[in-house]
Structure 1
């Protein structure tokens, strides 16, 4: 006959087994998610374009980066996206500026490169006639692109504002990483791909949705 003490041990052992099993399952799920995420980000890091099936885009830039980025001087940089695939697509673009400075010890210092607020470090003349700033890091093109069609320029020039910087910004370099994402125009594939299948109800993403939803195809 089992004593209360032995029953208690059995219950503890079962609980430990269940907890261990749950932990193993969580680790397996986490590893699976990590591998999936790594596969997606690895592809994005290797390519300047974004491809899904026969959706293809090409980034066109006109920019001659200066060796030293000087304040209060405008530098020309034109960015456009071309649809090089076979089907109509919607486009959004991530434009990520960064300002770096080489240190005497060989390391690289990353300095703030703000473009918004009351006293931004950078002024970039974003084209908000043909594009919408989604305030989520992306600029959305208002029109769908047909095969071989090209967007209007996202911006044409950039400037570092003397009034917003300190002496740390002497002898710095500027880079602007551009990432373009294209998605087919099937109803409502852009919501699924870009917003986790959610329909925005407020803010600039609602403006994006209103601009694109009337240009979708299919049911």
Structure 2
């Protein structure tokens, strides 16, 4: 069974010991979060624009209006305003799920960072988004054409314990947000996202599946 699926990426790369720039943009895709650490002077930013593929027709667009101005100075535990949401810019209803994860490099090599250990998402809307515990947050409603979801989160905070700050010096962070959209027809969301059209039986995906099943189109 064919499905329509679009994956969108945007990266904001932060490197300590470089100067920051102000940035206001409207991007087709999801957003990403800008974070950095310590009292060093920093910032480089880089964008990876949309990455589209489709099977069938039409091609989905999930858009985000992203208005962010990087601060001139930042320390750990500082909250950074960053609103992440999705907008359906196509002509049919869509289901949406979203992934947020950190990526880091040190001396050009991968540097392991766990989202739950060092990055706090603030202002999570748990009434409209549910953590599937599979790496994704699921929007618990369909997005009508032109409709914008509630914010997944509104701020982020980088958490680096004092005894670990030296380990994170000169580390480049990508806090990546990725969104996937699928039409609401039948159970195509199950096949696209979970590889089966059978109902989910384990929580929390069971609750997510049951909620979306009630809102699907025949």
For the aligned pair, the TM-score class normalised by the smaller chain equals: 0.5 to 0.7
**Residues 102 and 175, structure 2, Cα contact 8 Å, conserved in 1:** yes
Question: How has the CA–CA distance of structure 1 residues 82 and 164 changed in structure 2, closer, same or farther, with 3 Å as cutoff?
Answer: farther
If each structure's strand is expressed as a fraction of its own residues, which one has the higher value? 2
* Residue segments in structure 1 that go unaligned for 5+ positions in a row: 1-39
Name the residue aligned to 2:205: 205
Higher relative contact order (CA 8 A, sep 6+): 2
Q: Which moved more, 1:173-182 or 1:147-156?
A: 173-182
TM-score normalised to structure 2 length = 0.67
Name the residue aligned to 1:122: 119
Report the structure number with the largest CA radius of gyration.
1
Matched residue SS, 2:86: strand
Residue pairs, 1:49-64, within 5 angstroms: 53-54=57-58, 55-64=60-69
Q: How many residues of Structure 1 are paired with residues of Structure 2 in the alignment?
A: 171
Name the residue aligned to 1:78: 83
Name the residue aligned to 1:13: none
Name the residue aligned to 2:97: 92
If each structure's helix is expressed as a fraction of its own residues, which one has the higher value? 1
Name the residue aligned to 2:136: 138
Please tell me whether residue 47 in structure 1 is matched to residue 44 in structure 2: no
Report the CA distance between 1:165 and its aligned residue: 6.2
* Residue segments in structure 2 that go unaligned for 5+ positions in a row: 10-47
TM-score normalised to structure 1 length = 0.67
Question: How has the CA–CA distance of structure 1 residues 49 and 176 changed in structure 2, closer, same or farther, with 3 Å as cutoff?
Answer: farther
**Residues 6 and 52, structure 2, Cα contact 8 Å, conserved in 1:** no
Name the residue aligned to 2:41: none
